[in-house]
Amino acid sequence: MKWRMGDVVVMTWPKCGTTWMQEIIWTMRNNPDLNNPLADMSITSRVPFIDMDMFMLAETLQNPNPDNPLLSDFLKVCPGANPADGVQLQLATVMPDPRTIKTHIPLSLLHPTILDNSKVVFVARNPRDVIVSLHHHYRIVKSLNFTGSMDNFVNYFVNDKLLYGPYWLHVQEAWAKRHHPNFHFIFYEDLKADIMTELNKLNKFLGLNLTKKQLCNVADYTSFNRMAARDKLLGPKTEDNPMFFKEIVRQDGGFFRKGTVCSWKEKLSPEMVNKIDQWTTKNLREIPFRYSL
Ligand code: A3P
């Protein structure tokens, strides 16, 4: 995919607050007065997730069913297009400027000119909460269907066996770029602690000059409760989404599970915390993660 001048790329490892940041940036750039009717469309059709095509089953692409939540907005935005040629890729191509793009691909695997023409916003989250959130995700998503224990899952994480490869490498590459003028590094925990301060920094980084009132609009519109209540943000609400296991969603929550900084306290044993912390000390010693607010 060709980057365009003015693109903003939301770059994260899964479960670090990607969807939140997608909605924050899209709203800041396209809907700061909360009057843009396009805001009702799913987040993926407003902020294409360029690596998602590789997860779509060949049968879904070859026999597109317009009721499939991943395809319905695509077919509206790209009428007559063939999903097998890449749903997200085609969405990104027709997307008018200013374009916001989501990726979990690390910096070193994207085109080396990305920071020449585009701005990257990177969100990192403390590894304990990432693991808990990702374990939940692997359990509710039918195509992932993880049935192992939390202990198993921690082992997969610390041995770098999960999708998208080593979290530490992803974060380390980003951290090394944190002073680049087109790169903005944010912690999920800082967004939770003081959203207005972080929105002000983003306002400056993106060169938007939004007013205080507009930034308040964004903060409110992208709060956990407001996002969780929006019907079409991720396609159908999680409870009704055919991509999720309904029973687990009912028991443990949907995509918008907790949205907090310390849910690891409820889910990880002291032994698991110890294992994760050893991994963090070995790989990400210099990153100032926070584990509570
Ligand atoms: P939890 O599972 O801890 O609740 P991603 O979008 O990268 O997949 O990240 C998902 C995580 O971000 C989930 O964490 C989700 O609840 C949380 N999240 C989504 N929207 C949020 C918001 N507006 N505020 C805070 N957390 C949010």
Query: Does residue 177 lie within any of the structural domains?
Result: yes
For the whole prediction, is pTM greater than 0.85?
yes
Query: Does residue 216 lie within any of the structural domains?
Result: yes
Query: Does residue 189 lie within any of the structural domains?
Result: yes
Q: Which ligand 1 atom sits nearest the alpha carbon of residue 22?
A: 6
Query: Does residue 54 lie within any of the structural domains?
Result: no
Mean pLDDT (the chain, rounded)? 93
Q: Which ligand 1 atom sits nearest the alpha carbon of residue 20?
A: 20
Which residues are near ligand 1 (CB < 6 Å)?
12, 14-20, 129, 133, 136, 222-224, 227, 256-259, 263
Domain hosting residue 35, numbered range: 7-48+95-283
C-alpha of residue 263 to centroid of ligand 1, in Å: 12
27-49 pLDDT per residue, tens: 999 999 999 999 998 898 899 99
**Which residues, 6+ apart, have CB-to-CB distance to 50 below 8 Å?**
1, 88, 89, 92, 101, 102, 103, 105
* CATH number of domain containing 237: 3.40.50.300
Query: Does residue 76 lie within any of the structural domains?
Result: no
Total domains in the chain come to: 1
Label residue 231 by pLDDT band (50, 70, 90). Answer: confident
Question: What pLDDT was estimated at residue 18?
Answer: 98
Query: Does residue 288 lie within any of the structural domains?
Result: no
Query: Does residue 81 lie within any of the structural domains?
Result: no
C-alpha of residue 15 to centroid of ligand 1, in Å: 6
Query: Does residue 60 lie within any of the structural domains?
Result: no
Pocket test of ligand 1: the residue of 133, 199, 223, 243 to mutate, having most ligand atoms within 8 Å of its CB, is 133
